[in-house]
Chain A
Amino acid sequence: AQKVTQAQTEISVVEKEDVTLDCVYETRDTTYYLFWYKQPPSGELVFLIRRNSFDEQNEISGRYSWNFQKSTSSFNFTITASQVVDSAVYFCALSEISSGSARQLTFGSGTQLTVLP
């Protein structure tokens, strides 16, 4: 069975600090996708990134970067020079591909990030 763990329930930082959100996953499949979603106070779920299990290259998008390490089953998310608008709940999620399931996403419990001015 697949499982995603986000051990950090809440994180509070001061604006311009860097912050890393941790995500650890469990799966028996060799083929899977990992995701990060952002949920701002308005409540919608915003897609941030998708990474497949064959691509361990780190990715950077502006102030956001992601570190995928299969050896430790982790897919961590770093925000550089955080801003107040980054305040949100962030979810990590996993989708097994080879299991034949209908692409169900399994979500972590989320990390509430608060960026203080």
Chain B
Amino acid sequence: DAGITQSPRHKVTETGTPVTLRCHQTENHRYMYWYRQDPGHGLRLIHYSYGVKDTDKGEVSDGYSVSRSKTEDFLLTLESATSSQTSVYFCAISDVGIYGYTFGSGTRLTVV
């Protein structure tokens, strides 16, 4: 009954290549978020969206861009992947009146 799915679940890519991660929701929630998880840092916000075509930067946005052309999809793009972007990426959703997130299962990205 997953209302939020991330794809791919795992990806290995080479330094300098572009990578796009997809987050898809079926809950019609307004807010969507991308976080990265790294040892010792917990989860850090990369970008978030508060509606279609409305996005903003989070704490660690350098090297990342996002797009949200439909309510259900939030794409995270690494224009030119670097080894420092090796991480686990989580997408999350929330909505008006909901204080808390539903998380996706995560995408493990390795940049070699």
Contact = CB atoms under 8 A, between A and B. Distances in A.
- The judgment on whether A and B are partners is yes
Interface string A82-102: 000000000101010100001
Nearest to B95: A103
Contacts of A47: 100-101
A91 B49 CA distance: 23
B43 A91 contact: yes
A33 B100 contact: yes
Nearest to A1: B59
A105 interface: yes
Contact of B43 (A33, A50, A107): A107
A7 B34 CA distance: 25
B41 A109 contact: yes
Interface string B72-112: 00000000000000001010101000111101011000000
B42 A110 contact: yes
A113 to B, nearest CB: 15
A43 interface: yes
Interface in B34-61: 35, 40-45, 48-50, 56, 58
Contact of A95 (B44, B50, B100, B105): B100
Contact of B40 (A4, A44, A52, A109): A109
Contacts of A9: 40
B102 to A, nearest CB: 8
- The listed residue with most B CB atoms (<10 A of its CB), out of A33, A47, A52, A105, is A105
A5 B99 CA distance: 20
A104 B33 contact: yes
Interface of B: 31, 33, 35, 40-45, 48-50, 56, 58, 88, 90, 92, 94, 98-101, 103, 105-106
Given A6-B42, A103-B94, A107-B42, 5 more contacts: A33-B99, A43-B88, A47-B101, A95-B100, A110-B42
Interface of A: 4, 6, 9, 33, 35, 43-45, 47, 50, 52, 91, 93, 95, 97, 102-110
5 contacts: A6-B42, A44-B105, A93-B43, A105-B45, A107-B42
